[in-house]
Amino acid sequence: MTSLLLAGDVMLGRGVSQAMQRMHPDEPWGDLLPLFQSADFRLINLESPITGTTKPSPFRKLDHFRAEPIPALLALRSARINACSLGNNHILDYESPGLLDTVQYLENERIKYAGAGTDMKKARAPAFVDLGPGRGKIAVLSLTDQDPIAPVHESEPGVNYFPIDLDASSLAWLDRSIDESREKGASLVILSLHWGSTMTERPPSAFQRFAHAAIERGVDVIHGHGAHIFQGVEVFRGKPIFYDCGDLIDDYGVNPVLRNDWSFLFMLDFDENRLRNLKLVPVQLGYGRARLAREPERELIMNRMISLSREFGTNLQPQGEFLVLRSAAAKAA
């Protein structure tokens, strides 16, 4: 059995970066840290470059994110992060130098990454995490449909951008990536998608069609993020689709209705490529840190997820402080 922990956006820039310089590396993760450390594999969306460069991109944006290297890397090391999705709309906030710094720092930490790279071939390539005997090898594919900034040449640093639709280019990349992953021995393939509009509770129907097509082609897990709030969970042909995992670490203001300070950790057990158990851990975000949700918020967070997931035919059940879907493989078509 292989245990996975997936989380959404981890934004280590701006106010978080300042706060982390005064924190112990364990503090951003709070009492979630033992859950991270107990999993075999941990994947996040890294929503900010890790760089010392101070020249932001000239493209007009509401915010440019940049994480100071030392506190950011110590925090990632503390949570034992195995892999980061870099296919998002902020990884180029400090242009090519910021991206190049980020991938070099991650490589130094032996953290795998996908979705951005020193050239477009690397940006589109799967990342592989070999968990050792009996645990298998996991492939991570990453893309974004946000802020397409295409490099002038394929040899330049860039982000793996594709529109989320069933056009030939998106599906051809997906087919090639899945084939490469299987040829290189991956027992599980995760597709990490930074997609859609912010602060939306439900994915558009086009996203569901794309997620289904990805699973039909051989993807085992859909790891969605980008809305800054969690969305419902679907199990399609025995494979989990997390349309949006919400945020985990940030410094954002809280919407009192949508509650972007409510989130989850997504914990999965796989036997080879068959999903055996799924557990959702309710989380409450603070400024630059996260913790296990407590009552009365925990019940509200769980009830929202139960309701949103029921729309996809997914029956999540409370079990103490968590939500569970047992014998998930039985839902395979």
CATH number of the structural domain spanning residue 218: 3.60.21.10
Instruction: Identify the pLDDT of residue 326.
Output: 62
Instruction: Identify the pLDDT of residue 213.
Output: 97
Give the DSSP per-residue string, 240-290. Answer: EEES-B-EEE--PPPPTTT-TTEEEEEEEEEETTEEEEEEEEEEEEETTEE
Residue 188 has pLDDT above 90, yes or no: yes
- Cα–Cα distances (Å) from 88 to 20, 37, 258, in that order, read 22, 25, 22
| Chain length of the chain | 333
- Percent pLDDT > 70 in the chain is 96
Instruction: Identify the pLDDT of residue 331.
Output: 47
Neighbouring C-beta atoms of residue 208, cutoff 10 Å = 17
What is the extent of the structural domain holding 243?
A: 2-331
Element of type H or E holding 117: strand 116-117
Please choose, from the candidates 195, 241, 204, the residue with its C-alpha nearest in 3D space to the C-alpha of residue 219: 241
Q: How confident is the model at residue 329 (pLDDT cuts 50, 70, 90)?
A: very low
Q: What are the residues whose beta carbons fall under 8 Å from the beta carbon of 306, sequence distance 6 or more?
A: 316, 318, 323
Q: What are the residues whose beta carbons fall under 8 Å from the beta carbon of 63, sequence distance 6 or more?
A: 14, 93
Q: How confident is the model at residue 153 (pLDDT cuts 50, 70, 90)?
A: confident
Q: Which of 40-49, 52-61, 177-186, 253-262 has the weakest average pLDDT?
A: 52-61
Mean pLDDT computed over 269-282: 95
Domain count, the chain: 1
- The pTM (predicted TM-score) of the whole model is 0.95
Q: Which of 144-148, 198-202, 259-263 has the weakest average pLDDT?
A: 144-148
Separation between Cα atoms, residue 261 and residue 248, nearest integer Å:
8
Separation between Cα atoms, residue 4 and residue 32, nearest integer Å:
14
Residue 107 has pLDDT above 70, yes or no: yes
Mean pLDDT computed over 211-237: 98
- What is the overall mean pLDDT for the chain? 94
Separation between Cα atoms, residue 110 and residue 209, nearest integer Å:
34
Residue 48 has pLDDT above 60, yes or no: yes
